[in-house]
């Protein structure tokens, strides 16, 4: 294990061993029967640790444990469940630095972003605690005398969570914390590219669950490749599957869950654009575009992929952005002096290089050159240069989501044209406009404006706050996680009618002589 910026001490604090079981019902870790998955850091190419993947028979044990736990967990009052989640938030505060380092080292995002991701976990815990006292229904007047109607929500049961490598802990917490206060139990399949993060989180959770006598099975983890995910998506005992990943993956999950009439919460690809108006504050616009394009080395679902720039500002924005790219420091993400870390692995590097090649083939023009960085500091082979290219929106390579720091820029004349370009992709996650003109801003946010699940004014496409529901439209999947009323997806709605009178009036005046 590397001694890189205190990572070895962080691993020790988080209970990460050289060889770990990848399957847990809570405090119990199942025997190491599955194939070995090795986790290598994209930071320096070093082996961090190994896990044993979950076997099919172990998956059955996990589901049974979850089903048994649900019978107990659902009966605990929601505020009591909220209190346990509150304690999880406190425990995460204790381990924020260690977990942030692991996130940074195993995934490759900057240490600041790793800390930010753990802070999102803490924030969703705080949100869920308040929510635990607000799982409200509606009371309605009945058309029948001496009757009362109301709606209430009940927990679904087992919630399956399939998370992606780019946010190896936060997205799981968005789902788990809400599901737990709702009375559900969770089975988490982490990305096989960042499996150690799931083990660290389970160890932290266990500290709280053991103190509160939470039954085994409320928090379970499984690890492995897509085959374990397929067991979950086709399992009728898992009423809800929340999956984060590519559109291709999401379509398979949606089809499998839909075939059994289950529920799927899908958070899939983004092809996010910022419109830079002639009325934009360019200092704000350039900052938003820069962070959106290169943050997490372009590996966020909300990363900025396209800049749609008013023709009167095009040359100025292009030149300022190119100048800003020259000042980027690329290197070890645990070094807080660096802006950009590595891509997740060499497969991602290959896709990045292929995309650059396709830009030229399809008629685009690279303005800020890319390439793979070499040298001792970049020994993992995963460090690349962020790219800026001029390209029209209809190019196939622009229509696709390349999970890498490649930014396409293009011109527009009228706002309607810019909005049409922004909406002219199959993805519909995040969008933004940079303008100081109120009419432009309001038009962008109107029914005829952005068709994305997230639409911002004078902030970039990247990132989101816990208080608002996160998700997108079109082939982004339509799911909503985190804030607002996203909790309802983790529950089933029931309508209740109570007759407190002495008679039973029947519909359409029907009567029986009894």
pLDDT in tens, the chain (514 residues): 344 799 999 999 999 999 999 999 999 999 888 999 999 999 999 999 999 999 999 999 999 999 999 999 999 999 999 999 999 999 999 999 999 999 999 999 999 999 999 999 999 999 999 999 999 999 999 999 999 999 999 999 999 999 999 999 999 999 999 999 999 999 999 999 999 999 999 999 999 999 999 999 999 999 999 999 999 999 999 999 999 999 999 999 999 999 999 999 999 999 999 999 999 999 999 999 999 999 999 999 999 999 999 999 999 999 999 999 999 999 999 999 999 999 999 999 999 999 999 999 999 999 999 999 999 999 999 999 999 999 999 999 999 999 999 999 999 999 999 999 999 999 999 999 999 999 999 999 999 999 999 999 999 999 789 999 999 999 999 999 999 999 999 999 999 999 999 999 887 778 887 7
186 an active-site residue? no
For residues 334 and 462, the answer to whether their CB atoms sit within 8 Å is no
Domain 4-268+477-494 part of CATH 3.40.605.10:
yes
Which run of H or E residues covers position 455?
Answer: strand 454-457
The structural domains of the chain, with segments of one domain joined by +, span 4-268+477-494, 272-468
Instruction: Note the pLDDT tens digit of each residue in 318-369.
Output: 999 999 999 999 999 999 999 999 999 999 999 999 999 999 999 999 999 9
Tokens (6 digits) for 153: 């929500």
Instruction: Note the pLDDT tens digit of each residue in 25-71.
Output: 999 999 888 999 999 999 999 999 999 999 999 999 999 999 999 99
479 by Cβ neighbours in 10 Å (0-12 / 13-18 / 19+) ranks as buried
The CA distance from 68 to 102, in Å, is: 32
* Other CB atoms within 10 Å distance of the CB of residue 125: 26
Question: Dihedral of CA 193/200/262/134: which sign?
Answer: negative
267 an active-site residue? yes
Whether the model clears a pTM of 0.85, i.e. scores above it, the answer is yes
The CA distance from 85 to 122, in Å, is: 10
Orientation angle between helical segments 111-131 and 96-107, nearest 10 degrees: 120
CATH architecture of 272-468: 3-Layer(aba) Sandwich (3.40)
Please give the DSSP secondary-structure letter assigned to residue 295.
G
The CA distance from 216 to 226, in Å, is: 25
Among candidate residues 182, 301, 382, 452, the one labeled active-site is: 301
Among candidate residues 91, 267, 440, 475, the one labeled active-site is: 267
Q: Comparing C-alpha atoms, which of 310, 292, 272, 266 is closest to residue 423?
A: 272
């Amino acid at each position: 294990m590397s001694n890189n910026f205190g990572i070895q001490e962080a691993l020790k604090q988080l209970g990460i061993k050289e060889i770990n079981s990848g399957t847990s019902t809570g405090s119990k870790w199942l025997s190491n029967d599955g194939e070995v998955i090795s986790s290598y850091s994209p930071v320096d190419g070093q082996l961090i640790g190994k896990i044993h993947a979950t076997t099919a028979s172990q998956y059955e044990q996990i589901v049974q444990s979850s089903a048994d736990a649900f019978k107990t967990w659902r009966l605990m009052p929601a505020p009591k469940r909220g209190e346990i989640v509150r304690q999880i938030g406190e425990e995460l505060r204790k381990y924020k630095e260690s977990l942030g380092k692991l996130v940074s080292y195993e995934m490759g995002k900057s240490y600041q972003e790793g800390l930010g991701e753990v802070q999102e976990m803490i924030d969703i815990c705080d949100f869920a605690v308040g929510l635990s006292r607000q799982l409200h229904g509606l009371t309605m007047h009945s058309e029948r005398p001496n009757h009362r109607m109301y709606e209430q929500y009940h927990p679904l049961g087992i919630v399956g969570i399939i998370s992606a490598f780019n946010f190896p802990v936060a997205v799981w917490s968005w789902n788990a914390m809400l599901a737990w206060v709702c009375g559900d139990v969770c089975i988490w399949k982490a990305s096989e590219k960042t499996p150690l993060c799931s083990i660290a989180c389970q160890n932290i959770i266990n500290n709280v669950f053991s103190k509160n006598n939470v039954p085994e099975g409320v928090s379970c983890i499984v690890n492995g490749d897509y085959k374990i995910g397929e067991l979950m998506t086709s399992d009728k005992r898992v009423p809800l599957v929340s999956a984060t990943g590519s559109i291709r993956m999401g379509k398979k999950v949606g089809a499998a869950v839909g075939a059994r009439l289950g529920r799927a919460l899908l958070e899939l690809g983004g092809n996010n654009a910022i419109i830079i108006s002639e009325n934009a504050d360019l200092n704000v616009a350039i900052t938003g575009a820069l962070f959106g394009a290169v943050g997490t080395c372009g590996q966020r679902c909300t990363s900025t992929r396209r800049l749609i720039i008013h023709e009167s500002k095009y040359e100025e924005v292009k030149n300022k952005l190119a100048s800003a790219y020259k000042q980027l420091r690329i290197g070890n993400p645990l070094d807080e002096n660096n802006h950009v870390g590595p891509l997740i692995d060499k497969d991602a590097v290959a896709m990045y290089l292929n995309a650059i090649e396709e830009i030229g083939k399809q008629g685009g023009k690279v303005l800020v050159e890319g390439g793979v960085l070499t040298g001792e500091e970049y020994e993992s082979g995963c460090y690349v240069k962020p790219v800026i290219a001029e390209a029209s929106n209809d190019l196939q390579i622009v229509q696709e989501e390349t999970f890498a720091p490649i930014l396409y820029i293009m011109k527009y004349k009228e706002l309607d044209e810019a909005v049409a370009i922004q909406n002219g992709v199959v993805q519909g996650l995040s969008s933004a406009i940079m303008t100081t003109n109120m009419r432009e801003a309001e038009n962008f946010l109107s029914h005829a404006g952005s068709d994305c699940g997230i639409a911002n004014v004078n902030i970039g496409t990247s990132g989101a706050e816990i208080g608002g529901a996160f998700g997108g439209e079109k082939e982004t999947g339509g799911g909503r996680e985190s804030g607002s009323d996203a909790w309802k997806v983790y529950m089933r709605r029931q309508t209740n009618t109570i007759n407190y009178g002495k008679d039973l009036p029947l519909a359409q005046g029907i009567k029986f002589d009894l």
